[in-house]
Amino acid sequence: MSFFEGSKDITIRGGTFIAQRLESSQRAFDFLASKALPSAFHMADADVFHSTCLPNTRVKILEQLKSWANRKTMSNAFIMWLNGAAGGGKTAIARTIAQWCQAEGILLGEFFFSRADGARDRIGSLAATLAYRMATLTLLPAKDAITEAVAHDPHIFSASLAEQITRLVLEPFNREAPSGIVPHVIILDGSMSVCRMLNRTCSGSAYEDITSAQSRTTNSSL
């Protein structure tokens, strides 16, 4: 297809023009997949069965998290922050809850950061990974809306994290989520350095949205 198809009387002197078009939904989806990190999913690691909670352990904290995820308690708290000392088992708990949420049909997405994995030590792939998870498993009706967003703007992955989350996760979710029990839990597991990266990335209205949600945050310590 010509860059200026249908145009007349155009004069161009110098310059470089680059056109990037994603004309098919499959191509847009493939582009999304190339930006996602499946290694950040809760079942991705080879040692996953050694990094979840053993039966009859962490019972109290797991029940608290399940109750919150099911909106049975603390219904006004949009964020549950699990904190504790390094090596205290937070990742094992997060993986266990992710498995449970997936079995219950309420897991929307997850991202397990890792300082040992350079790709998972940054937030650049967070939105793409959550969107890919929705499109392939947790909210299949959102696939078309997500791929449309990518096809409309292939450079979305160069936008701010807040913009990526809005256009690839929140808008498709609001457009396609069915009524009744829907996937709504997003699990992020990472260090305080990840929290600082998220804070630095958010600004303006996105920052206001997050701080508003933080005012309805509940806390659980190990």
pLDDT at 46: 52
Q: What is the pTM of this model?
A: 0.79
pLDDT at 22: 47
pLDDT at 71: 82
pLDDT at 192: 63
3-class SS at 42?
coil
pLDDT at 214: 47
3-class SS at 220?
strand
What are the mean pLDDT values of the chain's consecutive 10-residue runs (222 residues total)? Answer: 59 63 79 95 70 92 94 75 88 95 95 87 92 96 96 94 92 86 90 66 49 56 68
Angstrom CA distances, 50 to 54, 55, 96, 196, stand at 9, 12, 11, 29
pLDDT at 211: 47
Query: Please, what is the end-to-end C-alpha distance for the chain in angstroms?
Result: 59
Q: How many CB atoms lie within 10 A of CB 163?
A: 14
Structure tokens given for 84: 């504790």
| Selection from 90, 102, 179, 112 nearest residue 136 by Cα | 102
pLDDT at 206: 46
For residue 66, how many C-alpha atoms fall within 13 Å in the half-sphere facing its CB? 16
pLDDT at 199: 62
pLDDT at 116: 82
